[in-house]
Structure 1
Amino acid sequence: MGLKSKLGAVFSSNLPKVYYELLFVGFSIMTGMSLSSSFLSLLADQLDPSGALVGMVVSAWFLSRIFLELPAGIISDRIGRRKLLVIGLGLAMLGPILCSQATHIYILIIGRSIWGMGTALYFMSNMALLMDILPVETRGSAIGMFQGIENIGSFIGAPVGALLATQFSFTKVFYFTIVFTLISFVVALRSSAMKDLTSNHESKHSLTFKQISGSLRNWSILIVCVCVLLRMLVIQGIFQTVLQLYLNKNMGLSVGDIGWVISMKVAGQIIFLLIAGYLSDKYGRKPVLAFGFGVGALSIISFILSKSFAGLLLSGFLGGVGEGLGITTLLALLTDIAPANARGGAVGLYRT
């Protein structure tokens, strides 16, 4: 089956209605979440000119997720995905409400912490639901399409948020985030298909916490999670931290030119998120993963050796290609190997 046929199957009636509802919810919440990405550090700096707590605004988001995702995944295997997903969207709405009223840095930190907790519950439950519903023959393509649509929402949200910030104020942009999150919350809350799906899951997998955690003692799952850990170290440590400093201080690029390099990376990621699933369905998960990791390593070498702006743009694109191939294929591989009675816990471990 070719790429066109695979994508046609994704958008045909072969997939359950809940997939398309999750697709809409994912696009909406990612668009809303990314609205503040272009100015969040500037807002934090305004509220805390000393800079001492600016880093906590970003860290609070991730710290709250780290300690919540694994237990939340195990809990979802007991009480169902939809309940935690709806609770997560509710918290993800409370977070920007607090941020919109931030007149002090501590309010912004608390808002970001609650927001991070909400997104942890949402993303974990969302991924586990996808693992429950996707048929093997289109699993990779469907996951790739889902992740691609989410990233398009994120790609759209950042410049739109920057534009809104120039027209209103930093804190007022969070009102638009609230609207996007509210739409996602209402769709998930009223979804009859999601209710039916989670009811069936609960009746099939009412296991004890000990049974669920025991199912996660699987070397294949642990290896996938180690791969995710190493990939995130590269993404966060090199591409999102060192790269910008290298391009500015060593290569002499302006902020605008760095933006073009990052945009090329995002473009490569989105394109290959959409087709990575098809490739992994056709050629297997491991070969596509190995190729993706190889392209990612090549992009780092290319950044070091490139002396021209065109070479840096190509290096950025290659970095995005490697990320796109890795993100989709690792999740598809986890879906293949995770026991049905412990998928929530597997997703929680994967995301932690």
Structure 2
Amino acid sequence: MARVSQDGAAFSFKKIAIPAFGPSILFGIGEGAILPVIVLSARDLGASVAVAALMVTLIGVGSLLSNIPASILTDKYGERWAIVGAAGLSMLAMLLCLLAPNLWFYGLGVLMIGAASAVFNLARQKYLTEAVPLEFRARALSTLGGVMRIGVFIGPFIGALAINFFHLAGAYWVGVVAVIIAGLIALSMPDLVHESSGEEELAAPTLRSILMDHRKIFLTIGIGVLLVGAVRASRQAVLPLWAEGLGLSPSTTSLIYGLSGAIDMLVFYPAGKVMDRRGRAWVAVPSMLIMSISLLLMPLTAGAVTLLLVALLIGFGNGIGSGVVMTLGADYSPARRRAQFLGIWRFLADLGSFSGPALLSGITAVASLGIGVAATGVIGLAAAAMLWYWIPRSPRAASPQ
């Protein structure tokens, strides 16, 4: 359906739906298909349980280390070719994992998957930031985050079907096919026109100057985004760990986790619509408050039913926050060297995602899991307070454009 933006220009989501969102769901399917078998593949190559668990974290490490390089590549070659290149790198990485003769090569493949994810995520965010009018931005980026989650959700089911026929290799072949199709679809993305003068290029800002010029944003809302990443990543570890502590069976735990993920996927578009019409704080703050309260309630649960209720609440809180980090990054990103700004922004979010579970693990080791879960809830309350204080109430107030 075509819509009219505030400057009078017609805009239609249909025109960008397949090239913008198609690769996202396919990347999600590819990642979702291989995630459950990383530990199993590492064990087959002789890894201990601890080393096999470490292999899963290499995706996050690869993404964290590649956000800044990804911004440079996207700025140099453009969004379309960055996405196509990310698809190619992901394909090679999955083939390397499939054919790896030892753990070193396998770990390199997993690390490359994370690096490809960083390039892909940054390029698709930058593309939609510039292709979609500001008044539809949150809906577009929330949908982007939502379809990726849908892909990650259904990927394991497709992978499981392939494993029945081709053993563990089937999951990797699902991933390879998914990212190849994603790259082919990305080739149909229309190029964006970037107007610039020779004088502007001579005075182009550097990463250092972007850090300095926008240091207030990075040290305020940027820290809030880091805390958001920490809470979101921690919740993925908290739920199965607490279920195990309650003595629930693996099948019951999986069902609870799956239902929480299903709720997560259902609410992304309405949340984006609220952000576009009322402002980002109307979703960002409730998202963190709901997740924080849920985490603080989790140590009080005593069985499957109460844990399910808390898990559904966590899924709802996380779901309405789909795309909020990307939307805030898009709002504050400057028109010139937007990719580098978004690279730093994504680095902060990934740093939170990496440090959150580590903090949870550390607190659990010296105290207890219940205290670790409660501490994560307190971090969420801090994130909500920072976002409430710093986010402008109008969506246009944040944008430098």
Q: What's the TM-score, normalizing by structure 1?
A: 0.87
Amino acid at match of 2:333: A
Match of 1:302 in 2: 297
> 1:209 deviation in Å?
5.7
> 1:135 deviation in Å?
0.8
Match of 2:108 in 1: 110
Instruction: Call closer, same or farther: CA 1:42–1:212 in 2, change over 3 Å.
Output: closer
How do 1:134-283 and structure 2 match up within 5 A? 134-189=132-187, 191=188, 193-194=189-190, 196-197=191-192, 200-201=193-194, 203=196, 206=201, 210-211=205-206, 213-216=208-211, 217-218=213-214, 219-237=216-234, 239-249=235-245, 251-283=246-278
Instruction: Call closer, same or farther: CA 1:44–1:283 in 2, change over 3 Å.
Output: same
> 1:63 deviation in Å?
1.9
Percent identity of paired positions between Structure 1 and Structure 2: 26
SS at match of 2:321: helix
Instruction: Call closer, same or farther: CA 1:228–1:300 in 2, change over 3 Å.
Output: same
> 1:104 deviation in Å?
2.2
**CA contact under 8 A between 1:29 and 1:181: conserved in structure 2?**
yes
**CA contact under 8 A between 1:85 and 1:122: conserved in structure 2?**
yes
5+ long unaligned stretches in structure 2: 4-9, 348-401
Residue of structure 2 aligned with 1:97, choices 79, 95, 98: 95
**CA contact under 8 A between 2:2 and 2:12: conserved in structure 1?**
no
> 1:243 deviation in Å?
3.0
Q: Distance in 2 between matches of 1:345 and 1:310?
A: 46
> 1:301 deviation in Å?
2.1
Match of 2:390 in 1: none
**CA contact under 8 A between 1:100 and 1:172: conserved in structure 2?**
no
Match of 1:315 in 2: 310
Match of 1:9 in 2: none
- What is the root-mean-square deviation in Å for CA atoms of aligned residues? 2.5
SS at match of 1:67: helix
> 1:221 deviation in Å?
4.5
**CA contact under 8 A between 1:74 and 1:212: conserved in structure 2?**
no
**Bigger relative contact order, structure 1 or 2 (CA pairs below 8 A, ≥6 apart):** 1
Instruction: Call closer, same or farther: CA 1:222–1:92 in 2, change over 3 Å.
Output: farther
> 1:113 deviation in Å?
1.7
> 1:156 deviation in Å?
0.7
Q: Distance in 2 between matches of 1:209 and 1:261?
A: 50
> 1:232 deviation in Å?
2.0
> 1:109 deviation in Å?
1.0
**CA contact under 8 A between 2:142 and 2:271: conserved in structure 1?**
yes
Q: Distance in 1 between matches of 2:202 and 2:79?
A: 14
Q: Distance in 2 between matches of 1:57 and 1:231?
A: 24
5+ long unaligned stretches in structure 1: 7-11
> 1:347 deviation in Å?
1.9
Instruction: Call closer, same or farther: CA 1:282–1:324 in 2, change over 3 Å.
Output: same
Q: Distance in 1 between matches of 2:50 and 2:180?
A: 33
Q: Distance in 2 between matches of 1:46 and 1:70?
A: 34
> 1:274 deviation in Å?
2.5
- The total of aligned residue pairs comes to 337
Match of 2:48 in 1: 50
Amino acid at match of 2:295: I
Amino acid at match of 2:27: I
> 1:277 deviation in Å?
0.3
Q: Distance in 1 between matches of 2:77 and 2:2?
A: 37
Q: What's the TM-score, normalizing by structure 2?
A: 0.77
1:45-66 deviation digits (Å, cap 9, x = unpaired): 1212434532342232222221
When structure 1 is superposed on structure 2, of 266-275 and 16-25 the one drifting more is: 16-25
Instruction: Call closer, same or farther: CA 1:106–1:276 in 2, change over 3 Å.
Output: same
Residue of structure 1 aligned with 2:19, choices 12, 18, 21: 21
Amino acid at match of 1:42: L
